[in-house]
Amino acid sequence: MTTAEKDGGQREPRRSVARCPICNQPRSEEYRPFCSKRCADVDLGRWLNGSYAIPVTEDDDEDGEEDLPASEKKPDDGVS
Ligand SMILES: [Zn+2]
């Protein structure tokens, strides 16, 4: 019997594989951090389209409860 692997052998199966943020597949070294050029383009397109910008939704209240006070904030009046 061999006692070489008494230390455990440092064999961790859970090697964190970086995944593509777009499709969640193992990414490619060539197109990292994406898995392919396609996903890279998708990500780029999202940036260009502003999809990453969180849309400001004013109607974020609970459903059915619209007891908002009078709008105190007035938009800029067109003073020209
Ligand atoms: Zn991908």
Cβ contact 31:18 at 8 Å: no
**Given this model, what pLDDT does residue 58 score?**
66
Q: Find the 56 Cα to ligand 1 centroid distance in Å.
A: 28
**Given this model, what pLDDT does residue 32 score?**
87
Higher pLDDT among residues 57 and 42, named by residue = 42
Q: Find the 43 Cα to ligand 1 centroid distance in Å.
A: 9
pLDDT in tens, 46-57: 888 876 565 566
Q: Find the 76 Cα to ligand 1 centroid distance in Å.
A: 44
Delimit the domains of the chain by residue range.
Answer: 16-50
pTM: 0.43
Q: Find the 50 Cα to ligand 1 centroid distance in Å.
A: 19
pLDDT in tens, 13-24: 566 778 999 999
With a pLDDT cut of 70, the percent of the chain lying above it is: 46
Q: Find the 39 Cα to ligand 1 centroid distance in Å.
A: 5
Q: Domain 16-50: what homologous superfamily?
A: Erythroid Transcription Factor GATA-1, subunit A (3.30.50.10)
End-to-end, the C-alpha distance of the chain in Å comes to 91
